[in-house]
Structure 1
Amino acid sequence: MRLGRSLVLRGWALLGAVALCSALPGVATLGGSAHAGVTLEERKLPMRFSWVACEPNCRGWVSAVGIVTADSPGDFDEFARGRQLGGVTIVLDSSGGSVNDSIALGRRWRNLGALTTVGISLQTRSAQGDRASVAPEAYCESMCVFLLLSGKTRYVPEAAHVRVHQIWMGDRADDAKAASYTAQDLMIVERDIGRLAKYTFDMGGAGDLLSLSLNVPPWEDLHELSRAELRLTNLVTTDAVAEVLPPADIPVVPVVELPAKPVQDRFVSSAVPAEITPQPAKSTKTAEAVVPTGGVAVTAPAQQ
């Protein structure tokens, strides 16, 4: 992999404790105690797609957890094969990933007429059987924000964290200020910013989203978007969770309504962290976003 030619959108501000655990790829199982660490690990791995069923009274949804890699568009195509996914809801919990591959995946979702939101998909065991639900305490960082934008209808719960930052060269994000850059590097950065800008407007996003993202360098903390900024950027199109998830009478953890509060974000290019034991995510010749590695929000070097 030539990381020098790879732009990565990365979020490394720490996510704090996540509400519920994940025992299956992309689907957390609630059995009494929460395993936030497991959920965090899921978001560091390559993106996995899972179908969450909430029968018999409602349709299910797609859980998308992890970072977008060069394999993600193909993995989604494989997952979608044989399924009727027109108008499906996609629930995101991700630290971002490859810029170009996220764009490709987002366009697939828009072609499906998908609805998007942020949350952790859960399977709750009860005497009446397994019930599906969504916990709002999730993270959508870096390129995940642009995947969220692909939904025709977009809902973000108040408890969710949506964060943005700059695009940067993947192999130099660890010490961006000290690194040197060539004309070829600048060409790659500007090329991918152009692709991202076109995608943003094609999806109905506002220029404010690019402005907020591109103003946060890799040596600063991610910028978490406030409720006002979520609307300003057109990331949110509805305040009604029922427009993207099953009705409240189905046992679903409510995704809190949207009041106004501040946030932060950033773009960065770098390589996917190799600290995860499972197969590490692959980077491509484009920007990628990855998950934080700590337990508290800190200004840390990018480790794509």
Structure 2
Amino acid sequence: MRRVTALKSRGWVLLGAAAFCLALPGAVTTLGNSAYAGGTLEERKQPMHFQWNACQPDCRGWVSAVGIVTSDSPREFDEFARGRELAGATIVLDSSGGSVNDSITLGRRFRGLGALTTVGATVRAQDERATVVPEAYCESMCVFLLLSGKTRYVPPVAHVRVHQIWMGDRADDAKAASYTAQDLMIVQRDIGRLTKYTFDMGGTGDLLSLALSVPPWEDLHELSRAELRLANLVTTEAATDVFPQNNAGVPMAEAKPTKPQDRFVSSAMEGEAQPQQGKSTKTAEAAVPTGGNAPAQPAQPQK
């Protein structure tokens, strides 16, 4: 099956001296900006992985979801969630997108848990205390994962960017490429699936209109605060609505599952090599780092 791919985007500006962290009691730390930016950029090249981050002593923890959504991501999230009480958990996204169909599946998993969603980069200090840095990137299909949250918060310094889906094997020169009726059918089908999902999650037609108006030969469009509200991607302006600080009033996700796991469960558990780059799947995939200081380049489809 041919694939639709997420394409290029502008590089980010490295965090400056004004960078700050979400104030989580017992979890606030300060990291060097260059170390944070470089580490996060490298993680964003990999298939999406999930990690539980404990928050001590007086606030609830959260799930970090970092990287590219692949055909394995829904299964890996199911493995991660097994043995954990994740109902009402906060999911912190830092992703350049990925597979359309698999992002839809994953987003429905999040909604089924009644998850809260936000954008941020989870970092750890030497003492292992976790911190959420709000200047992070949620691009392409990550935006629709953000939409899956029952409550959705986007920090003012976060970057939420959208564009069209496209055929991955013609990503290098979308204008010059030729397309068959089958290709057009695949794109139309997935737009239909994405439209239904958007309305099921409480999004608006404005979100679809903004995303589908950006062709693959242009940079991604970064949503303004007004556009975030128009798309219904933001349901609250208070970080404390997605990072509750009173454990007695909300369900607490367990820090340790019944089966120990680290980062994400991959095909290595079945005797295969662990993937090093995002693998192509049914539809769209972003296989290049975005939100970095490298020059923009189109995604390369994987086989």
Distance in 2 separating the partners of 1:11 and 1:299: 6
Instruction: Give the distance between the partners of 2:32 and 2:294, measured in 1 at CA.
Output: 27
Give the alignment of 1:1-304 within 5 angstroms. Answer: 2=1, 5-18=2-15, 32=32, 34-35=34-35, 36-125=37-126, 130-247=128-245, 279-292=276-289, 295-296=292-293, 300-304=297-301
Q: Give the superposition deviation at 1:303.
A: 3.0
Alpha-carbon distance in structure 1 between the residues aligned to 2:244 and 2:300 = 37
**How far apart, CA to CA, are the structure 2 residues paired with 1:279 and 1:97?**
15
> Is residue 96–residue 291 contact of structure 1 (8 Å, CA) maintained in 2?
no
- Flag the 1:32–1:285 CA change in 2: closer, same or farther, 3 A: closer
Of residues 63-72 and 11-20 in structure 1, the stretch that sits farther from structure 2 once superposed is: 11-20
Shift of 1:44: 1.2
In structure 1, what is the Cα distance between the partners aligned to 2:299 and 2:31?
Answer: 35
CA distance in 2, matches of 1:149, 1:48: 19
> 2-side partners of 1:121 and 1:210: how far apart?
29
* Cα displacement string for residues 227-280 of structure 1 (whole angstroms, at most 9, x for unaligned residues): 0000000000000100001449xxxxxxxxxxxxxxxxxxxxxxxxxxxx9612
Could you say what secondary structure the match of 1:15 adopts? coil
CA 1:225–1:177 in 2, change beyond 3 Å: closer, same or farther?
same
Cα distance between partner residues in 1 of 2:79 and 2:141: 21
SS of alignment partner, residue 198 of structure 2: helix
Change (3 A) 1:132 1:202: same
The one-letter code sitting in structure 1 at the alignment partner of 2:14 is: A
**Structure 1 residues 11 and 96 mapped into 2: Cα distance closer, same or farther (>3 Å)?**
farther
Check whether the contact 1:16–1:297 (CA below 8 A) recurs between aligned residues: no
Which amino acid in the other structure matches residue 12 of structure 1? Answer: S
The CA distance in 2 between the partners of 1:90 and 1:149, in whole Å, is 11
Q: What's the counterpart of residue 26 of structure 1?
A: none
Distance 2:44 2:15 in 1: 11
Question: Percent identity among equivalent residues?
Answer: 73
Aligned-partner SS, 1:101:
helix
Aligned mates of 1:298, 1:42 — CA distance in 2: 18
Aligned residues: 262
SS of the equivalent of 1:219 reads: coil
Specify whether residues 297 and 44 from structure 1 end up closer, same or farther in structure 2 by C-alpha distance, changes over 3 A only: closer
CA offsets per residue over residues 39-85 of structure 1, 9 Å max, x none? 10101110010000012212110000000000000000000000000
How big is each residue's C-alpha offset from its partner over 1:197-243, in whole Å with a ceiling of 9 and x where there is no partner? Answer: 00000000000001000000011011000000000000000001000
What CA deviation, in whole Å up to 9, does each residue of 1:4-42 have, x standing for no partner? Answer: x1112345322332579xxxxxxxx96656322221010
Name structure 2 gaps, 5 residues minimum: 20-28, 247-273
Q: Which amino acid aligns with 1:61?
A: W
| One-letter amino acid of the counterpart of residue 115, structure 2 | A
Superposed CA offset, 1:143-189 (max 9, x none): 00000000000000011000000010011011000100000000000
TM-score normalized with structure 2 length: 0.81
Q: Distance in 2 between matches of 1:297 and 1:199?
A: 33
SS in 1 for 2:166: strand
Q: Conserved in 1, the CA contact under 8 Å of 2:120 and 2:135?
A: yes
Alignment root-mean-square deviation, CA: 2.3
2: CA distance, partners of 1:44 / 1:141: 13
Contact 1:119–1:137 (CA<8 Å) still a contact in 2? yes
Unaligned runs of 5+ in 1: 21-28, 249-276
